[in-house]
Amino acid sequence: MATITELKCAVRETLESRGVLGQLKARIRAEVFSALDDQREPRPPLSHENLLINELIREYLEFNKYRYTASVLTAESGQPDVPLDRQFLANELKVTEDSSSKSVPLLYGLMCHFVNSSDTRGKVFVRGGLSASCYCCHQHYTWT
C-alpha cells in the first residue's frame, strides 16, 4: 500500500503531466490578485489602444508558453477571455503579413521592423503613420 507521501507525489506528477497543476496555480494567482485589488479605485476603461497592446502581449506570452503570466494579464487588465482574431489585430495595426509571418506573434514583426530599420541615424521617429517593410527571418510585414 502506498504511503501518503507517495500518493501526493503521484497526484502531483499526474496533474503536472496533464497541465492541470499549472492552470490551477494560475487561477489561484489570478484570484489572489483579484482579492488584493483595491476595488475602491476604479480602473480606467480599457481603451482601444490598451486592448490592442494587451493582445499583442498575450499573443507573445502564449506563443512562448507563458500561459500563467497570460492568464494573470487577462484577469488583471480586464482583457476579454477570448483572444482577438489575429486578422482583426493585424488590420487594426495596419499590418500586412505573408503566409510565413503568421507562425510567430505580431509583436516579433513589429520588433523586427524597428530593430532592422534602414534609418541610418539609429533612432526611430514615432509618428502616426509608418510605412516600411521588414524581411526578418524571411517574413514580410508592411505598415501603411
Provide the whole-model pTM: 0.61
Return d(Cα 81, Cα 88) in angstroms, integer. 16
Q: Do 14 and 70 sit in the same domain of this protein?
A: yes
Q: Do 65 and 27 sit in the same domain of this protein?
A: yes
Q: Do 64 and 112 sit in the same domain of this protein?
A: no
Q: Do 118 and 69 sit in the same domain of this protein?
A: no
Return d(Cα 112, Cα 13) in angstroms, integer. 39
Q: Do 117 and 66 sit in the same domain of this protein?
A: no
Show pLDDT as tens, one digit a residue, over the chain (144 residues): 678 888 888 888 888 888 888 888 877 877 787 777 666 677 778 889 999 999 999 999 999 988 878 888 887 888 888 999 999 999 999 888 888 788 899 999 888 877 776 665 666 555 553 333 333 334 444 444
Residue 102 lies in domain: 86-143
Calculate the CA dihedral of residues 28, 33, 38, 41 and round it to 10 degrees.
-130
Q: Do 19 and 73 sit in the same domain of this protein?
A: yes
Per the CB < 8 A criterion, the answer to whether 95 and 108 are in contact is no
